[in-house]
Amino acid sequence: MKTVVEELSPTRVKLTIEVPFEELDHAFDVTYKSLAKQVRIKGFRPGKAPARLIDRYVGRGAVISEAVNHAVPELYNEAIQKEEIFALGQPDVEVTKLEDNSELAFTAEVDIRPKFEVSDYKGIEVTVDGSEVTEEQIDEQLGLLRERFSTLVGAERPVEDGDHVSIDLSAAVDGEKLEDVAVSGYSYEVGTNTMLEGLDETLRGMEAEGEATFTTTLVGGEHEGREAEVSVTVHSVKVKELPELDDEFAQLASEFDTIGELREDVRKRMAEVRRIQQLSSARDKALEKLIESIELPLPDAVVDEEIQRRRESLEQQLAQSGLTKEAYLESQEKTEEEFEEELTTGARSAVKAGFILDQLAIQEDLSADQGELSQYVFEQAQRMGVSPDQLAQHLVQSNQIRVAFTEVVRGKAMDLVLASAKVTDEDGNVIEQETDEEKAAKAAAEAAVETLEVLEETESAEEAVEVPADEAKDEDTKADTKADEAKDEAK
């Protein structure tokens, strides 16, 4: 086999491959065996018909075509390995010569990773936020903890923002009652504006057993956009009562006996989370600086593929949350043009980062063992809320194990960059690198924080499009206490 490589651009090459017919014997053997099982020739058992009769039965041209289809992918893979070409995506193949018992020639154009070296990755300097935990921040955390142990007690006064009311709602359009806009005994926090427009304004000042009506524009359902007459009845008014911040509360909300011990534990945990955040920020900033320091041409097709992947991922998330793209853009205060620009910039940065970390891994001879792959699967499964076994099976069935391997190796390459980086906070204090225990803690904390951030973004977007609360509720918002604490500490 003869191979000639032509560089069409820094990110695309054209291979011209010429193969004598005798080197196609394996492809013809596979083809004849396959066809012999498919054809029925009198006097021969299935799979036993000789090649000359198969040629006559199905046609020599069809046999050659089948053999070439089998041979070309193998020949192409052999050529790129021999020429040490890092191909990206599928090639555009064209057969240029095909003469029976003589020669096969074809061309293959394919995008490639650009050739470059990562030379200045050591000693990158980055600055991160400070990690000091103030008394006010501790008070805020304790306040959030008190909220979780609060109780609702009856209030003998008119409704105010922050009150929890039990209400009945019904609506009518042109005198016709709407079954899908009717609730009974619904618990609602006044001032959250998560139900019908005008409801909060109507509830303020009402008392228990009071009734009122108001007009609103429906934002969903069969009568979307129509004006409706809404009747609301208040059954009870309750106010949130917080427990006293004393030793009794410390014993109720934690394993500590005194409020002083609880405050010190909160301080310690917040400091640990801040340190994890500092290292995570340092990692991101070091990668940004590394990306900025290297000029690199990027294959358009690879960037376009990453843009499409990100777009589909967002569309899937929006579909799962029941939101439209327009509602999402409104909640993010972005125009379509700004969204597309941000999408393209992020995709280009991600592709470039991948190239750089891949090259660094090659230079430093980095790899991943089974244990590291298993740890990656475990951490990703935590983030996704599935079992490690489920994720592992999915990776195998969808041929994504190589992707997991690449991510692990890229992570190790980034560890090299961060290990040699000079990380200081805004006060000039040097930040020490994280231990293995801290890495594990960070992975768990990030998984919990990421879950709650997604939920909060979804809730925020739902409020922006005025989705009724009974439709907006989702079982996934019932996060456990540990996840709550991780999110609270990370604020």
458 and 473 share one domain: yes
CA angle, 236 then 237 then 243, to 5°: 125
The verdict on residue 143 lying in a domain is: no
The verdict on residue 179 lying in a domain is: yes
**Residue-wise DSSP of 411-430:** HHHHHHHHHTSEEEETTSPB
**Residue-wise DSSP of 31-77:** HHHHHHHH---TTS-TT---HHHHHHHH-HHHHHHHHHHHHHHHHHH
Q: Angle of helix 336-363 relative to helix 401-419, nearest 10 degrees? A: 80
| Element containing residue 303 per DSSP (H, E) | helix 300-321
323 and 415 share one domain: yes
Q: In 3D, which of 224, 262, 270, 227 has the Cα closest to residue 243?
A: 262
CB atoms within 10 A of CB 205: 11
Q: How many distinct structural domains can be found in the chain?
A: 3
Number of H helices, E strands in the chain: 16, 11
Q: In 3D, which of 43, 44, 60 has the Cα closest to residue 52?
A: 60
Query: Contact at 8 Å (CB) between 243 and 249?
Result: yes
Distance CA 382, CA 448 (A): 8
The CATH number of the domain holding residue 281 is 1.10.3120.10
The CATH number of the domain holding residue 7 is 3.30.70.1050
Rounded to whole angstroms, the maximal C-alpha distance in the chain is 99
- State the pLDDT at residue 5: 94
Distance CA 113, CA 297 (A): 9
What does residue 418 show for φ and ψ, rounded to 5 degrees?
-70, -35
219 and 264 share one domain: no
The verdict on residue 417 lying in a domain is: yes
87 and 201 share one domain: no
- State the pLDDT at residue 465: 32
* Domain with 93 in it: 2-112
| Torsion sign, CA atoms 27, 31, 34, 36 | negative
| HSE, side-chain direction, 13 A CA sphere, residue 21 | 9
- State the pLDDT at residue 47: 62
**Residue carrying structure tokens 């910039």:** 345
- State the pLDDT at residue 2: 93
Q: In 3D, which of 399, 396, 299 has the Cα closest to residue 355?
A: 299
84 and 180 share one domain: no
Q: What residues pair up with 173 in beta bridges, in sequence order?
A: 176
Q: In 3D, which of 172, 218, 173, 222 has the Cα closest to residue 196?
A: 218
Amino acid at 200: D
Give 195's DSSP letter. S
What does residue 31 show for φ and ψ, rounded to 5 degrees?
-65, -45
465 and 331 share one domain: yes
Amino acid at 389: D
292 and 218 share one domain: no
188, 210, 241 — which closes off a domain?
Answer: 241
234 and 259 share one domain: no
351 and 204 share one domain: no
Distance CA 311, CA 290 (A): 26
Query: Contact at 8 Å (CB) between 310 and 343?
Result: yes
Q: In 3D, which of 299, 389, 383, 394 has the Cα closest to residue 347?
A: 299
410 and 457 share one domain: yes
241, 266, 286 — which closes off a domain?
Answer: 241
Distance CA 16, CA 3 (A): 6
What does residue 216 show for φ and ψ, rounded to 5 degrees?
-145, 165
112, 129, 164 — which closes off a domain?
Answer: 112
CA angle, 319 then 323 then 326, to 5°: 115
Q: In 3D, which of 436, 320, 449, 310 has the Cα closest to residue 382?
A: 449
pLDDT averaged over 10-residue windows placed end to end, the chain, 491 residues? 93 94 88 80 70 80 89 94 91 92 93 91 92 91 92 92 93 86 90 90 94 89 85 94 93 93 94 90 94 93 94 90 85 91 95 95 93 91 89 88 92 93 89 64 51 40 34 35 38 35
The verdict on residue 130 lying in a domain is: no
15 and 159 share one domain: no
Distance CA 5, CA 382 (A): 45
386 and 268 share one domain: yes
Q: What residues pair up with 127 in beta bridges, in sequence order?
A: 424
- State the pLDDT at residue 165: 94
- State the pLDDT at residue 479: 32
- What are the helix (H) ranges across 128-253? 135-148, 199-203, 247-253
Distance CA 91, CA 77 (A): 10
Distances in Å between the Cα of 312 and the Cα atoms of 116, 153, 452 are 31, 47, 22
Query: Contact at 8 Å (CB) between 218 and 225?
Result: yes
- Which residues, in sequence order, are CB contacts of 173 under 8 Å at separation 6+? 218, 223, 226, 227, 228, 229
The CATH number of the domain holding residue 210 is 3.10.50.40
Give 258's DSSP letter. S
The verdict on residue 163 lying in a domain is: yes
Amino acid at 420: S
The verdict on residue 127 lying in a domain is: no
**Residue carrying structure tokens 């917080």:** 242
- State the pLDDT at residue 487: 36
Distance CA 469, CA 188 (A): 9
The verdict on residue 258 lying in a domain is: yes
The verdict on residue 285 lying in a domain is: yes
Query: Contact at 8 Å (CB) between 424 and 285?
Result: no
